[in-house]
Amino acid sequence: MRNERDSMGEMPVPDDALYGASTQRAVLNFPVSGHPLPAAFLRGLGLVKLACAAANEELGLLSADKSRLIQQVAQEVMDGRLMRHFPVDVFQTGSGTSANMNINEVIANRASQLSGHPIGSKRPLHPNDDVNLGQSSNDIIPTALHVSVAVALREQLVPALEELAAALEAKSTAFRDIVKIGRTHLMDATPLTLGQEFSGYAAQARKGVARARQAIVALGELAIGGTAVGTGINCHPDFPGKVCRILSEQTGLAFRPADNHFEAQGARDDCVEVAGHLATLAAGLTKIAGDIRLLGSGPRAGLGEIRLPATQPGSSIMPGKVNPVMSEMLVQVSIYTLGLAQVVTLCGRDGHFELNVTIPLIAHALHEAIACLANGARVFARQCVAGIEADAARCRELVDRSLMLVTALNPYIGYDQAAAVAKEALASNRTLREVVLERKLMDAATLDKALDPKAMTTPGGSMPGGGG
């Protein structure tokens, strides 16, 4: 152990640790979950420190040598090379002060290493005076939250959803000529093609991509420059604009100083909005995964309209059983995401006066949800959707047995007569065609045209004079 000093006095710190006294106090104070802050958030925090150093150098407030050192170590944080030096638990001070001091101390001590000075000497960098220049935990941590989540959305979630959408679109094209029975209320309805059904899933995934991109836009305002309570005390007035410009250049995303710094620090409504988008995505993915699981149920006693790829044995007791495990995985991911989104919503309501004090938990919840959704969607696309096959014969069998084809007879014989035909066909175990001809309600040629399932999959195709 070595002794380091902060404003509260001396504190023994592990010899090989790059953090200092303030971080060690947090380690001792918060032995709660064993989960440190997400690596993606810490990389984002490194990027923010890099941008702040560059901005302070531009303003003439920080020497080029000090700026270079801060940026060099911040880059090491961004590259993931120093992650073991960030031990503070997620459940820490709600402003993230412990996390901010953690990176301030790591940068200062690593700079001491690189410059040939003893760790803890605060030479050539002081963690507060130099690394934290013009900053407060109250604006730095919300800024890192927005930047890191926006980057994660773009780099993790958007590509995964695009891959899933493309896989579903490919199946929609492949299945475009396979007519099947539709279902509403889980009951037989009128026909559509399997391709049309999958086009709906593809559209959900495409809308998911759009929602993820909307979430990125929602995070564009940054709290940087507000310092302690939003007034910008101890901060150069040009500092926030320069930091946002540098962050935009580094990430390719559009960041700007907050329109109102009191809102940017006291509230976390933008993050709640992002959580809402993630919850919507989770609901949509659950629908897709659930439908595909049901369509592939069987192989003998279920719907069996599609065949799902066999990925692993499904039972320890039933030989040959194969289960829809990829759908089950994605449903669980979605349930977890909905829970995490609710956590963010509850965190968002707990801002008091000039600061929200649940930011580390928001960071954990959003990054966890994004990572799980992205990984889940990607695995589902590759291990399930890509290998789905249609059972055209089974689809045709169910269409032929359905009584809801009677809907197409409404324009010819009216709703009441059509309902009577359907009831009699069901009661007598006969076809619609047999009952209609027996009652002499339509001639055979017109009836066959009206009952053509393929014609029912296009607007007006089975109507008198229709194109079917």
Active site residues: 185, 315
Nearest to 101 by CA among 61, 56, 140: 140
Q: How far is CA 186 from the centre of its chain?
A: 29
Rounded to an integer, what distance in angstroms lies between the CA atom of residue 97 and that of residue 356? 12
Rounded to an integer, what distance in angstroms lies between the CA atom of residue 63 and that of residue 46? 19
Amino acid residing at 370: I
In DSSP terms, which residues pair with 11 in a beta bridge?
4
C-alpha distances (whole Å) from 346 to each of 30, 78, 310, 339, 417 are 21, 30, 40, 11, 55
**Which residues have a Cβ under 8 Å from the Cβ of 233 and sit 6 or more positions away?**
227
Work out whether strand 221-222 and strand 256-257 pair parallel, antiparallel, or are unpaired.
parallel
Within 10 angstroms of residue 441's Cβ, the number of other Cβ atoms is 18
